[in-house]
Amino acid sequence: MLTNSFLHLPGFNVDDEEDLWTAGVKDWSGALSSDHVDVQQKKALRRSISALNKRDSVYFGEKYRPGERWRLLPDFADETAFLDIETTGLGGEAYITMCGVLDAGGFKAYVRSDNIDQLSSDLARYKLVVTFNGISFDVPWLRKELGPLLEDAAHVDMMHVLRNVGLRGGLKKIERAIGLDRGDDLSMLSGRDAVVLWNMAQEGEPRALETLVRYNAEDVASLPLLAEFAYGQNSAGTPMAVPGFSSPAHFDTSTLPYDRELVRYLRGL
C-alpha cells in the first residue's frame, strides 16, 4: 500500500526505505513522529497524505520512476483502466484501428470509424492506466490521434515493472515464463496478424473484426493477472505486501466470439 512506501521522499533510495522499515517505521503516520525522517521528508509526507486523500494519482506517478509504479496498484484498483491498442503498423501512414479497455465493469472495444471518438471522454474517469509497453507505444499513439487524454491518470507500464523481477521480452513470452500461457488458437497470433485482420474487415470479411476484437481482448485480459503477479513479487517480504492482492478487473474472454477457421488460416500464412 502507498502509505507503507517511502521511496518517493526526497533523498530516499531503496536502501533508505528498507532501513526505515527495519527501524520499525512501517507507514506514513509512524514516519511523521520518527527521528529517522527529516523536516523536508515530513513535509513531503504531508503532501503525500493530501494527494492520496484527493485521489491525485498523477502526483505519485511523477514521484516514482516507471519500474516502481506497481506501488500504486492497490490504492487505485477500483479506478484503473487496463488498455491495449492495435495499429496498421509503425510507419508514418499507420493509424490506430482499435483500443480495448478493461476495468472492474468489464471489457469494451473502441473501434475506428465506430466509437473510438468516445475513448478520450471515457478514459477521463480513471486514476490509473495499466499497459504493456504503453509508455513508449500505446499512450503516445492515442495522444497523437485523439489529442490530450489520461491527463488525470498515472501510468503503470508492466514492461518496466516486470523488469524489476528479471522478466524481459514481449507480453506472451513473459506470460509463458510465469505460467500464464493462454493455450488457445489466438495465442499464436501476432501484431502482424492484427493488421491482416483489420485489412480483411475493411475488405468485407464478415468475422474479421470480431476476431480482431477477441485477439485484443486476450492481451488486455492478461494485464490484471500480470499486475497481480508483479505486485506480489515486488512487495514480497515488505510492509507493502497485500496478501492475495487481486485486481477487480477480470474478464472471461471466452464470452467474445471469433472465427476459429480464420485464425487457423492466419497461422498458416
pLDDT number for residue 27: 97
Global confidence as pTM = 0.95
pLDDT in tens, 167-218: 999 998 999 999 987 767 788 888 999 999 999 999 999 999 999 999 999 9
Give the pLDDT mean for 142-163: 97
* Amino acid present at 118: Q
pLDDT in tens, 3-34: 999 999 999 999 999 999 999 999 999 999 99
